[in-house]
Amino acid sequence: MAIPRISSYPLPSSRPENRTEWQINPSKAVLLVHDMQSYFVNFYDTTQAPMRSLIQQINSLIVAAKAAGVPVVYTAQPANQDPKDRALLTDFWGTGLTEQDTSILPALAPTADDKVYTKWRYSAFKRSTLLEDMQAQGRDQLIICGIYAHIGILSTALDAFMYDIKAFVVADAVADFSEAEHLHAMEYVSSRCGQVQLLDEVIAACTPQNTQQKLSLGSMQEAIAALLCIDVEEVDPEENLLYLGLDSIRVMTLIDQWRAQGIDITLAELAESTTLNEWYEILVGKAPLAMEPA
């Protein structure tokens, strides 16, 4: 049995009520990007919801996590698995991945500082050193995004609970076979083994309080440079940002950060402007009390 083609459905805009009142602590957390490989993503139409939005949401999480010093790790299944390694997975899902579809999506690709764990079973903890690595770093919180919610993500959250790791599943940064299965997985996590959060809540938790209320031209330069992996000096406030490689997905990542700082801005409001100075003027008009002098 292969994975079915997945129909479009909207990512949730709300989350179930949690039984726990855990708080994300960036110094204790790890962000897991779960199974965002071409093989799994290609069962969706990437131009439609939920995948089109999911890629952007996960990108926002990665940027926020790295800015807060939260390690980012990935899972990825290997290609051409030996039948003994794949074992019972074959009975449910067939022979698995081939060499051409194991890559993690380029928009979310790990950097040299990120660790990729080989994925052998539903849970990211199975036959990996994830638990030992977290324990060695003194980290006992796992923020989870990716696919699929009711299979690997749910299994990983359950295992985290068994290992006394607090799992935070980001409801609007995971996707599933269907909206019903997505929502069921979130209900199960929130009531049985972890905590469900929304992207804005996680970004806010990863944003230091002393920067949430203030934004400057310099901090905007730094955010763009971090997103594009370039030096701050390369972000000329008068240069066309498109020439730097700032596409719409990355712009939405910046917008999510600014919204978490209390600035209500939309992509449409920035679309007609092309320079950082122009964007700064727009944001000043949207939230003058949240800005520092340029």
List residues with catalytic annotation: 34-35, 119
**Count of CB atoms within 10 A of residue 294's CB?**
12
Collapsed DSSP state (helix, strand, coil) of residue 172:
strand
CA 174 – CA 145 distance, rounded (Å):
5
Q: Counting Cβ atoms within 10 Å, is residue 156 exposed (0-12), middle (13-18) or buried (19+)?
A: buried
Of 26, 260, 12, 32, nearest to 143 (Cα)? Answer: 32
Q: N- to C-terminal Cα distance for the chain?
A: 58
Of 15, 49, 62, nearest to 194 (Cα)? Answer: 15
Return the bridge partners of 12, or none.
none
